[in-house]
């Protein structure tokens, strides 16, 4: 018997995916968003630079380290480039101390000692002294660039 004003439709529920399937579907988008945010945020310094590529199968944090080729921050009166580097990247790896310090890794990206080094630049000019000797000034842009050793 048909009720007036009603339409006849099959009584079916819309298909729903299990929760685990929905989570797996979100994983690539989440990984991409995380990689993009990590590459753009430059945390903890708002003006730090890095570049990253995204892939759902690789940890985005690891990719940032692998692809990092520059890292920047602002100078501060009375602080050396090395002091500020260690402030902006507490995990930076440094050999030696003070004026003899040599930076070997920034943000987890280690320079290959046979072919690369981290070069120090102030306002796009290569520094003439080491990071432990370079007194920075407010308004300067301090940039570390991964450079190839010329043979």
List the chain domain ranges: 22-148
The helix (H) or strand (E) run that includes residue 110 is strand 109-110
Q: Say which range, 9-18, 47-56, 66-75, 96-105, has the weakest mean pLDDT.
A: 47-56
CATH number for region 22-148: 2.170.130.30
Query: 53-62, 63-72, 88-97, 121-130 — which is least confidently predicted?
Result: 53-62
Mean model confidence pLDDT for the chain:
73
Contacts 24+ apart (CB under 8 A), 114-117: 114/149, 115/148, 115/149, 116/146, 116/147, 116/148, 116/149, 117/146, 117/147, 117/149
Tell me the angle at which helices 60-67 and 19-41 cross, rounded to the nearest 10 degrees.
30
| Helix boundaries (H) for 72-131 | 81-88
Query: Whole-model pTM?
Result: 0.58
CA–CA distance, 91 with 71 (Å, rounded to integer)? 13
Q: Give the tens place of pLDDT for each residue, 12-26.
A: 444 454 544 443 444
Model confidence at 36, in pLDDT bands (50, 70, 90)? very low
Residues 151 and 90: their CA atoms lie apart, in Å, by 32
Of residues 16 and 145, which shows the higher confidence score? 145
């Amino acid at each position: 018997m048909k009720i007036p004003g009603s339409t006849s439709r099959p009584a079916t529920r819309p298909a729903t995916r299990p929760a685990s399937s929905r989570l797996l579907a979100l994983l690539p988008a989440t990984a991409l968003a995380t990689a993009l945010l990590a590459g753009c945020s430059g945390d903890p310094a708002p003006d730090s630079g890095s570049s990253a590529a995204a892939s759902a199968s690789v940890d985005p944090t690891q990719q940032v380290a692998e692809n990092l080729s520059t890292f920047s921050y602002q100078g501060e009166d009375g602080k050396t480039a090395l002091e500020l580097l260690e402030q902006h990247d507490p995990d930076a790896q440094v050999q030696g101390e003070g004026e003899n310090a040599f930076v070997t890794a920034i943000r987890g990206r280690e320079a290959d000692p046979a072919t690369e080094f981290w070069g120090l630049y102030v306002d796009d000019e290569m520094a003439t002294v080491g990071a432990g000797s370079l007194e920075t000034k407010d308004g300067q842009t301090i940039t570390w660039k991964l450079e190839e050793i010329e043979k």
